[in-house]
Amino acid sequence: MDLKAASRTLILALAAGSFAITALAQWQWVDKDGRKVFSDRSPPADIQEKNILKRPGGNHPMPAVPVSDEAAPSPAAAVSAPLRKASAPRLSGKDAQLEAKKKQAEAEEAAKRKTEEEKRTLAKADNCERAKKGLISFSSGVRISVINAKGEREFMDDNARAAETKRLQGIADSDCK
């Protein structure tokens, strides 16, 4: 079989499969999120009449039928009984597995946020300790040296000491709360 025949066969199979799915789905409506839903069952009770696009046997509205436990209801009972669609079962509209997966994902997200917050807290504590130690060193009056770009040791002058002391004080102020 050549490529052209194989692709034609694949297209026909896909078209037949999609036709079979839509042929089985006798109900069609737009859900609250704006997505089209195809089903062999009637839509949930919270779907408005205007959002129902297709019904079994055409697009005719379903007649309202009184609901009663008796086989032949009396006219008075038929008038007082609430009216609803005959084939519309009362569904909650919630999928238990989907709800469980959502809860699990939310719990994992909360645990991840908690872990990240703990990491930030530990990093702040570490920065606080380093800044305090640096401030102690700079305020002691001991000569402090740094290594320049050439790899040579240079001693800090008063301006450099003041700038570094100010930077360390800023870190201590922000992280030591």
Q: 36 pairs with which residues across the strands?
A: 30
Looking at residue 77, its pLDDT comes to 47
The pTM assigned to this predicted structure is 0.40
Sheet holding 27-30, edge to edge: 36-39, 27-30, 52-54
CA–CA separation, 165 vs 136, rounded Å? 10
Q: Is the pLDDT of residue 18 over 50?
A: yes
Looking at residue 165, its pLDDT comes to 92
Looking at residue 67, its pLDDT comes to 45
Classify 52 as helix, strand or coil.
strand
Q: What is the mean pLDDT of the chain?
A: 79
Which pLDDT band holds residue 89 (cuts at 50, 70, 90)? Answer: low
Residue 54 corresponds to which tokens in the numbers above?
């297709």
Q: Is the pLDDT of residue 109 over 90?
A: yes
Query: In terms of pLDDT, which residue wins out, 18 or 176?
Result: 176
